[in-house]
Amino acid sequence: MARIFPRLILLPAAVLGLVAGGALAAAPGLRAIVSAVAHNPERLASLPGSPNIHFEAGGEAFARRVAVLLPGAMAKVEAAQGKPFRYPVSLGVFVTPAAYAAANGLGTPGVAGVTFGERITLSPILFTSHPERLEAVLTHELSHAHLGQWLPLAVELRLPNWFREGLAVLASDGGGAEGISEDDLRAALAKGDRIALPAQGSLLNLTAVRFENPASEPANNAARAHLAYRQAGAFVGYLRRSDPAAFAAMLGEIYAERPFAASLADAYGQSIEALWRDFAKTI
């Protein structure tokens, strides 16, 4: 699961210029973004009665499953994040891995769901080999779309990835961290194997939740990524559980476009590291 910030969506002329200049050949990520613009799922058929849910040919039954789950998933996100959605979220439901990869902004079918801008694309595996993950993945991606509706891009980019993803894991009851148990979480923390906690986001890392020790982070390891999400979700969950009023105040300041570190410090009166130490004691 991932969150993509496709600023090039707003610049079609610039994109065409890059294509003509051959820049895409050297930029796989850029190629994936351009492909997602060209394969916008909003051009697909929409589900009768749910015009914001679009589906690849043959996927109407899949889209109907999403329509059934969507109200409850939205309610979970609104409860966790303290605001209603501003408007309906656009969702694309896919039947074939190739079509999904072309539309999701990553260019790969190897993730279960992607939020591209404010639109969500859902992998075929959620309706075939892993239907048990559908509700959690849908809710996780709705969390990202919700933030995108309320925050300007520059503000959202300043949020640290661990908070964005941790909030999505919290709202979805573990979506993105499947397969990582409480025992796994305790074992990692007992070894000192914990995520890094930057106070703000970086343009050099738009999506990944990294560990403090990069040497312990094997490339392309899904279980490792799930562990990072589990730690982030558990920490954000602790922030809400330990002081619900402070959590709500922090979210209010974030929505008011204040820097994340200042919002957290104002609400809790402690630093991120001090709060993590208190969290670790509970684990």
Say if residues 145 and 89 touch (Cβ distance below 8 Å).
yes
β-pair partners for 202:
205
Share of the chain residues as helix, strand and coil, in percent rounded to the nearest 5 = 60, 10, 30
Could you tell me the pTM of the whole model? 0.90
Give pLDDT, residue 6.
60
Please identify every stretch of the chain with a pLDDT value under 50, giving residue numbers as ranges: 7-26
Q: What burial class does residue 139 get, using C-beta atoms within 10 Å of its C-beta: 0-12 exposed, 13-18 middle, 19+ buried?
A: buried
Q: What burial class does residue 243 get, using C-beta atoms within 10 Å of its C-beta: 0-12 exposed, 13-18 middle, 19+ buried?
A: middle
Say whether 98 sits in a helix, a strand or coil.
helix
Give pLDDT, residue 219.
56
DSSP secondary structure of 197-233: --SS-BTTBSS---BS-GGG--TT-HHHHHHHHHHHH
Give pLDDT, residue 221.
82
Domain boundaries, the chain: 1-150, 152-283
Give pLDDT, residue 214.
74
| 246: CB partners within 8 A, 6+ apart | 239, 267, 268
- Token pair in block for residue 186: 């305790």
